[in-house]
Chains A and B, each alone.
Chain A
Amino acid sequence: MTLDLTQFHEIFFEESFEALDAMEAALLKLSAGEVDAELINTIFRVAHSIKGGAATFAFNEVAGFTHVLETLLDQLRAGKRQVRPEIVDVLLRSGDAMRAMLVATQRKEVIDSTGVAKLRAELDRIMSESGSAAAPAAAASAPPGKPAASGDSAIPGWRIKFIPGPELLRNGNDPLRILRELATLGNLKVSVDAGRVPALNDLEPEVCCLRWNLEVHGEIDRAAVNAVFEWAESECELTIERVGGETAPASASAVAAPAPEAPAAPVQTPAAEATTRSANPDGGSIRVSIEKIDELLNSVGELVITQSVLSQLAAPLEGREAGELRSALAQLERHMRALQESVMRVRMLPISFVFNRFPRLVRDLGQRLGKKIELKVTGDTTELDKTVLEKIGDPLVHLVRNSIDHGIEMPDVRIAAGKTEQGTISLLAYHKGGNVIVEVSDDGGGLRKDKILKKALERGLVTNEVDLSEERILNLIFAPGFSTADVVSDVSGRGVGMDVVRRNINELGGHIQIFSKEGQGSTIRIRLPLTLAILDGQLARVGKEVYVVPIVSIVETIQVTRERVNAVASGGQVFRLRDDYLPIVRLHSLFDIEPDYTDLLDGLLMIVEADGKRVGLFVDELMSQQQVVIKSLETNFKQVTGLAGATMLGDGRVALILDIPGVITRFQAAPEERGVARPQAA
């Protein structure tokens, strides 16, 4: 029976991409000057694992390239070559190339062989550099291709007959590299047979017609020789036999670790052992597809609704049994909540999955623009739902690129401004209430409000008559196509970006704020929901409609008294809450429905807060609190400003879930029409 390996392809790709992330992070640490053995080991293990997997699945180009990379890494690991910026740079690009090859393989697209070959040549060049090659001194005194020093035959070694097959070169196996690796094992004697090389006119340049008889002497493990030919052995005729050593002193043979006659086996270097260990570092964990988790979550959501139905049915029942039923239902509710939280936790991933891409971005772009930038990351273990996490990557890239390109000044400008030559970009993530806050800050030049306003006037986004607050001016950068960049580059400045960023964040149910001080820097704060699936809500009734208000947004609920309500010039009303005056938002007006009450004294005012703004939501009455499973309005109907989605209640009714920032936006959009005043900053 043949095992169908294709079923493992996706897992291999996923694991390889994760491993490449780890490799890049380690390389960036090396780039920053932090050289330690474990870092190099980490990088080596990644290359080794990917090479092994790629070979297993016959992704030969990936395996072949990674093998070359691994050889260089092995030299670094063994201390035979020093880590230097040029090497780190090539290694970073090699990681990119491996990722691109894997993506192409995954999508069944053509691999950029030219680019890979160039990079491979760079790796070869580095490995062939004199002075740092790994050949032992004995080999240096008797270089390959020249007669070995006399007495070599007395030293044990291996005689190798190497006849390349017709596909060897085409599949990326280069005898030059193989011989170079062999020379690192001991004293190499090379004898070439060019008898089968045809006339130039008849030569197929991609077919190797040269053959070699080789001898490599030294105390060399057979497995090490096998390893050199590991990726070529299926494409060549290879004979490896033991030579010499019979006359060598027994004690010397004894010192030479494994018996040379040991059967060919995979190289068991310490690194290989480490790889074996690291291949299973998380012991008890398994990889589960996100689809399966979503199915599970969906089932839990349906269970929550069923439990809610049961509770509602049990509510009017009377008698001893009814009491016991309600008690059991309360217990069920507790278990349901625990189950729901457990499933939600499965979907949670640390935000480092997104943050990890930024050290490279900052390094590369900073170098390209000639800026010195330090990246500080705080709170990267903060967890977010996988769906949210996947969708914030691109907006964050926009923001960080903007900070690098527009925020951080050139070193001379910074020095002239009395700042340090090196700028700082900070990424920060933390939990606040039921949300995750992500901040992107820089200590650059900050936004120039006069410039923004001028551009906005030119583009007709605002008029001269309007006296805009600082916040409104800064928010103009979110207008479609808005850019104050003097020079349009491929980095930024085309005005495509910030509006997309805001739209993406809003689509996630999140909100974005901007703070900036000229000359001191800017901060973009993004508030994101922990999850897009489930919400703790307070049910509130307005007429026949029931709305779900996210509990995280509710500050308090109060009964209105006449003396605390004031009319404002625009025709709206405000409510005095301690030292603040809060605008009153009548939900029935906002959503055009028939309420039970229009007099504020008859209903209730829910004080809600979003993005530092508070308003009073006027509703007829409060109902119960419950967890609701969010069903997308956009998927099932269309996006409506002020509504985050819908849910099904225990009695089968559909309730609309309020998006409080959206509610505020909606009523701000036409306050005069709705008879309300602007919200107050909290």
Chain B
Amino acid sequence: MPAAASPAPAPQTGPRGRVVLGTACTIQEAAAVRAHLLAQAALPGPYEIDGGSVDMIDTAGVQLVVAFALDCLEKGVPYKWAGRSATLEKAIELLGVGPLLEYPA
């Protein structure tokens, strides 16, 4: 993650929304994952995303997380990752979406 060059936002007391990605985040679960993300997005940020349990994911699943991250970026609500499984890391890497999933410091 690049070092912060601009003034950092006011320190937060901790994440208020917690996004937990389940073991499966594929097109089969996409509707449920989207609903969960929307529910969390309705809470005030910042958010914590836990992807440590993911062991099945496809492009549909990754795209949902990207959409969530882009929404956060647009609204200026920070998020951070609580964990990413190896499967999730590999998918992010292969699809080239890594930079989109890091909230600028």
By a beta-carbon cutoff of 8 Å, the part of chain A in contact with chain B is 113-114, 117-118, 121-122, 124-125, 128, 130, 143-146, 169-170, 174-177, 179-180, 183, 190-192, 194, 197-201, 203, 205-206, 208-210, 212
Complex: how many Å from CA A63 to CA B74? 40
Is the pair B64, A191 in contact by a Cβ cutoff of 8 Å?
A: no
State the Cβ distance, B52 to closest chain A Cβ, in Å. 16
* Beyond A174-B59, A179-B94, A192-B100, 11 extra complex contacts between A and B, CB < 8 Å: A118-B24, A169-B60, A170-B27, A175-B95, A176-B94, A194-B70, A200-B41, A200-B67, A205-B60, A206-B60, A209-B63
State the Cβ distance, B33 to closest chain A Cβ, in Å. 7
Complex: how many Å from CA A104 to CA B93? 37
For B30, the chain A residues whose CB sits under 8 A away are: 205-206
Interchain residue pairs with CB less than 8 A apart (19) = A114-B28, A117-B27, A121-B26, A121-B58, A124-B58, A125-B55, A130-B90, A145-B96, A146-B93, A170-B27, A175-B95, A177-B58, A190-B94, A192-B97, A194-B66, A194-B70, A197-B67, A203-B64, A208-B59
Is the pair A200, B38 in contact by a Cβ cutoff of 8 Å?
A: yes
Task: Name which residue of chain A comes closest to B92, CB basis.
Answer: A145
Asked whether any CB of chain A lies closer than 8 Å to the CB of B86, the reply is yes
Complex: how many Å from CA A113 to CA B26? 12
Asked whether any CB of chain A lies closer than 8 Å to the CB of B76, the reply is no
Is the pair A145, B70 in contact by a Cβ cutoff of 8 Å?
A: no
For A121, the chain B residues whose CB sits under 8 A away are: 24, 26, 56, 58
Is the pair A144, B86 in contact by a Cβ cutoff of 8 Å?
A: no
For B91, the chain A residues whose CB sits under 8 A away are: 128, 176
Choose among B27, B31, B93 the residue with the greatest number of A CB atoms under 10 Å from its CB: B27
Is the pair A191, B27 in contact by a Cβ cutoff of 8 Å?
A: no
Is the pair A145, B64 in contact by a Cβ cutoff of 8 Å?
A: no
Is the pair A169, B97 in contact by a Cβ cutoff of 8 Å?
A: no
State the Cβ distance, B101 to closest chain A Cβ, in Å. 10
State the Cβ distance, B7 to closest chain A Cβ, in Å. 26
For B26, the chain A residues whose CB sits under 8 A away are: 117, 121
Complex: how many Å from CA A114 to CA B34? 18
State the Cβ distance, B4 to closest chain A Cβ, in Å. 22
Is the pair A199, B67 in contact by a Cβ cutoff of 8 Å?
A: yes
- The 8 Å CB contact of B27, one of A125, A146, A169, A200, is A169
By a beta-carbon cutoff of 8 Å, the part of chain B in contact with chain A is 24, 26-28, 30-31, 33-34, 37-38, 41, 55-60, 62-64, 66-68, 70-71, 74, 86-87, 90-98, 100
Is the pair A192, B59 in contact by a Cβ cutoff of 8 Å?
A: no
Task: Name which residue of chain A comes closest to B68, CB basis.
Answer: A200
Choose among A122, A145, A198, A206 the residue with the greatest number of B CB atoms under 10 Å from its CB: A145
Is the pair A194, B58 in contact by a Cβ cutoff of 8 Å?
A: no
Is the pair A192, B95 in contact by a Cβ cutoff of 8 Å?
A: yes
For B94, the chain A residues whose CB sits under 8 A away are: 144-145, 176, 179-180, 183, 190
For B68, the chain A residues whose CB sits under 8 A away are: 200
Complex: how many Å from CA A492 to CA B58? 41
For A122, the chain B residues whose CB sits under 8 A away are: 56
Is the pair A179, B67 in contact by a Cβ cutoff of 8 Å?
A: no
For B57, the chain A residues whose CB sits under 8 A away are: 176
Is the pair B38, A210 in contact by a Cβ cutoff of 8 Å?
A: no
Choose among B24, B26, B86, B92 the residue with the greatest number of A CB atoms under 10 Å from its CB: B26
Is the pair B95, A179 in contact by a Cβ cutoff of 8 Å?
A: yes
Complex: how many Å from CA A212 to CA B98? 14
Task: Name which residue of chain A comes closest to B72, CB basis.
Answer: A200
Task: Name which residue of chain A comes closest to B96, CB basis.
Answer: A190
Is the pair A176, B34 in contact by a Cβ cutoff of 8 Å?
A: no
Is the pair A145, B95 in contact by a Cβ cutoff of 8 Å?
A: yes
Choose among B34, B38, B67, B70 the residue with the greatest number of A CB atoms under 10 Å from its CB: B67
For A169, the chain B residues whose CB sits under 8 A away are: 27, 58-60
State the Cβ distance, B34 to closest chain A Cβ, in Å. 5
Is the pair A125, B63 in contact by a Cβ cutoff of 8 Å?
A: no
Asked, given contacts A117-B26, A117-B27, A203-B67, whether A125 binds B96 with beta carbons under 8 Å apart, the answer is no
Choose among B34, B58, B87 the residue with the greatest number of A CB atoms under 10 Å from its CB: B58
Is the pair A205, B96 in contact by a Cβ cutoff of 8 Å?
A: no
Complex: how many Å from CA A212 to CA B70? 17
Complex: how many Å from CA A52 to CA B72? 44
Is the pair B97, A125 in contact by a Cβ cutoff of 8 Å?
A: no
Task: Name which residue of chain B comes closest to A202, CB basis.
Answer: B67
Complex: how many Å from CA A191 to CA B96? 6
Is the pair A128, B34 in contact by a Cβ cutoff of 8 Å?
A: no
Is the pair B96, A212 in contact by a Cβ cutoff of 8 Å?
A: yes
- The 8 Å CB contact of B28, one of A117, A125, A128, A145, is A117
Choose among A125, A180, A192, A205 the residue with the greatest number of B CB atoms under 10 Å from its CB: A205
Is the pair B58, A145 in contact by a Cβ cutoff of 8 Å?
A: no
For A128, the chain B residues whose CB sits under 8 A away are: 87, 90-91
5 shortest interchain CB distances as A-B pairs? A190-B96, A205-B30, A121-B56, A145-B96, A192-B96
Asked, given contacts A169-B60, A176-B91, A209-B63, whether A200 binds B96 with beta carbons under 8 Å apart, the answer is no
Is the pair B95, A176 in contact by a Cβ cutoff of 8 Å?
A: yes
Complex: how many Å from CA A122 to CA B56? 7
Is the pair B27, A205 in contact by a Cβ cutoff of 8 Å?
A: yes
For A117, the chain B residues whose CB sits under 8 A away are: 26-28
Task: Name which residue of chain A comes closest to B32, CB basis.
Answer: A205
For A146, the chain B residues whose CB sits under 8 A away are: 93
For A144, the chain B residues whose CB sits under 8 A away are: 93-94, 96
Is the pair B28, A118 in contact by a Cβ cutoff of 8 Å?
A: yes
- The 8 Å CB contact of A197, one of B41, B55, B63, is B63
- The 8 Å CB contact of A199, one of B55, B59, B71, B98, is B71
Task: Name which residue of chain B comes closest to A113, CB basis.
Answer: B28
Is the pair B95, A190 in contact by a Cβ cutoff of 8 Å?
A: yes
Complex: how many Å from CA A208 to CA B24? 18
Complex: how many Å from CA A122 to CA B28? 14
